[in-house]
Amino acid sequence: MLASASPRRLELLARIGIAPDRVLATDIDETPLKAELPRLLAARLSAAKAEVAGARAPEALVLAADTVVGVGRRILGKPVDADEARRFLALLSGRRHHVYTSVALRSPDGKLRTRLVDTILAFQRLTEAQIEDYVAGEEWRGKAGGYAIQGRAEVFVRFLSGSHSNVVGLPLFETAQLLRGVGWLSP
């Protein structure tokens, strides 16, 4: 079971031949705790999603994930509107940032296994016109940090260290390793 409503996660799983038998969107509070760091938020949310889905279907092997964009200690969530998307893109312009995805796998025995993946990216310096054009295209909607690397924002990336699929929303190497670890995928 996939504990996520993200179509991108389903697409990524399909790339490695996985089609979850069930998809369950968990409705949890994703508000960061006071002074919570981006990486810790991603880890806490993925574990919470796996536990909530596991409680609803205790017999299932549950895969959950959460992706958080961080600039220093600052968390860039999903923009609530176009103005916030503009602010996020202006903040990311010309600087490095981190994309953290935590993957949690809960087995029917209740054991939780997790992996946290950190990908470092740097955007080129963006002009106001580039930001306005990107925001007008509305690709930022529902995307952590206000951009989609699998879309038009890929041309902004001048540096990437780590997993590209992590930035899309699910690090495939680590996800496959977790599944192999419980015997779900052949080694």
pLDDT in tens, 157-173: 999 999 999 999 999 99
Decide: residue 89, CB within 10 A, 0-12 exposed, 13-18 middle, 19+ buried. Answer: buried
pLDDT higher than threshold 70 for residue 4: yes
Tokens of residue 104, six digits? 């949690």
pLDDT of residue 155: 97
How far apart are alpha carbons 64 and 9 in whole angstroms?
10
- Taking the complete model, does pTM exceed 0.75, yes or no? yes
Write down the catalytic residue from 21, 27, 29, 66.
Answer: 66
Amino acid at 22: R
List helix spans (H) across 5-163. Answer: 7-15, 38-56, 82-92, 128-136
> Strand pairing partners for 160?
121
Going 125 to 127 to 128 to 130, the CA torsion angle's sign is negative
Q: Which residues pair with 103 in a beta bridge?
A: 65, 115
User: Is 29 among the residues known to form the active site?
Assistant: no
Q: What is the pLDDT of residue 96?
A: 97
Q: Which amino acid is at 164?
A: H
Query: Which pLDDT score is estimated for 187?
Result: 43
The reported pLDDT for the residue numbered 184 is 83
CATH, range 7-181: 3.90.950.10
Q: What is the pLDDT of residues 25-39, one digit of tens each?
A: 898 999 999 999 999
pLDDT tens per residue across span 35-74: 999 999 999 999 999 999 999 999 999 999 999 999 999 9
**Residue among 102, 84, 94 at smallest CA distance from 41:** 102
